[in-house]
Amino acid sequence: MAKCYMLYLVYLLIYDIHDVQAYSFEILSNLTTELFQTKSYDKTLRPRSDQSQNISLDVKFNFLSINKFDELEGKLVCTAFLGLGWTDDFLTWDYSTYPIGRFTLPQTLVWKPDFVLRNGFTEFKELGGSFYNVILTVDGDVAWNPYQVFETKCALDVTYFPFDSQTCDIVFTMWSHFTFQVSINPTVDNIVMDEYTSNSLWTIASTSQNVDNTGSRSVITYTLNIKRKPSYYVSTIILPVVFLGILNILVFVLPADAGEKMSYSITVALGFMVFLTLVSTQLPANSDNISMLSVYILIQICLGIFALVVSSIQLRIRHRDPNKELNKTYKYLVSFSRRCCKNENRVQSVANNQTKENIDLDKRVHAFDWNDFSSAIDFISFWFFTVIFVLSTIIIMILMTVG
């Protein structure tokens, strides 16, 4: 902010330094007396001697910085100043009588166009402050450079957060003057970005401007395409969530005997809840589009809760009466997981007494107990959760970054 203001002051200095003029205070005082008293200037009336003539309002939009993009309210706050200029038929003087090229006056003394921000967030206010000056030139040209912090509405689409781009319009219009009275005439083709200072969260991808003098009121629209810099969100939200997801799978690596399974999976599930709260404070309360990141966290929470359910059932099974027989389906699951596990071992011991091992395995198949079944659940769930975790992570990440 302070930096922008300095830039603005420098701009004004350069603007004014061209013509250092030598004239006495008395001449200036006589000139203002003539303009404002003798000719009784009326700042409330549109300054055209022929009222059928329009005023062409020169407009230049100098963008200085993005201060803040409030996602919750959908509010873009930026700093900019406008270069406005028009011709006032009644603020001209005879250079031979008053040898003054230009001088400044408080903006409250002269007629100004009611050029306002149309998609502003707050009530309409006059641009500039009462202490701002306008610059008057001998042939009636008035230059006015109101510096302002503009708050505009900007509907945002959070689907691809934090890899999203947003398009924000800053719309100015003549509020009470019709186009045939005052028409907007941009002096440059685009937003002036010479003095732009970069923002830590947003970069400006492109800008454009569009003037519309066909309607009853003249409207000029400045469009900013801004892109979020994702690294902050990647390191504070995405990576921790992915790591938590990995921890979630480790529930099935812990042996059931350790007795920590339940508290461990509850802790991980709570960790996800905390992250969902964090993310939801960053996003707008918006039901039109849901961010993929929240969907991803939701999937992780579901996995966490599912893991919790599986673990508790598993603990229950683990402590079943050992004399009770396993039924057929359970036995099939155990031997299935055994076979998967054994595959690697078998490669090593293939040269060894293969037949003996087969006999061993056969024996064991018939001697399954509840403990074996609990380990089988661990094994199957581990791979099931790993596959779902990896697939959901890859798919969501691709969708987010590509979109």
DSSP structure class, residue 43: T
Least Å distance, CB 62 to ligand NAG, is: 25
Within 160-189, the residues that bind ligand NAG by CB under 6 A are 179-180, 183
**Site for ligand NAG contains 51 (CB under 6 A):** no
Closest distance of CB 129 from ligand NAG, Å = 30
- The single residue among 8, 30, 266, 306 that binds ligand NAG, judged by CB under 6 A, is 30
Q: With binding defined as CB under 6 A, does residue 213 bind ligand NAG? A: yes
Q: Report DSSP letters for 178-242, one per residue.
A: -TTTEEEEESSSS-B-TT----SSEEEEEEEEEEE-SSSS-EEEEEEEEEE--HHHIIIIIHHHH
The H helix count followed by the E strand count for the chain is 9, 11
Q: Which residue has the tokens 């967030």?
A: 121
Q: How far is the CB of 64 from ligand NAG (least distance, A)?
A: 30
**In whole angstroms, what is the distance from residue 88 CA to residue 85 CA?**
10
Among 21, 51, 53, 345, binds ligand NAG (CB under 6 A): 53
Position among 6, 27, 239, 274 found at the interface with ligand NAG (CB under 6 A)? 27
Q: Is 54 in the site for ligand NAG (CB under 6 A)?
A: yes
Closer to ligand NAG by Cβ: residue 27 or 262? 27
Size of the site for ligand NAG (CB under 6 A): 9
Q: What angle do CA 59, 62, 67 make, to 5 degrees?
A: 135
Say whether residue 401 binds ligand NAG (CB under 6 A).
no
Cβ neighbours of residue 16 closer than 8 Å, sequence gap 6 or more: 135
Q: Is 26 an interacting residue with respect to ligand NAG (CB under 6 A)?
A: yes
CB of 87 to ligand NAG, least distance (A): 11
The contact pattern for ligand NAG, residues 325-364, with x = CB under 6 A and - = no contact, is ----------------------------------------
Q: Residue 120 burial (CB < 10 Å; 0-12/13-18/19+)?
A: middle
Yes or no: say if 71 and 284 are a contact pair by the CB < 8 Å rule: yes
Query: With DSSP H G I counted as helix, E B as strand and the rest as coil, what are the percentages for the chain, rounded to 5?
Result: 45, 25, 35
Burial degree of 352 (CB within 10 A; 0-12, 13-18, 19+):
exposed
Q: Specify the stretch interacting with ligand NAG by CB under 6 A; choose among 22-30, 134-142, 324-332, 366-374.
A: 22-30
* Binding-site ranges for ligand NAG (CB under 6 A): 26-27, 30, 53-54, 179-180, 183, 213
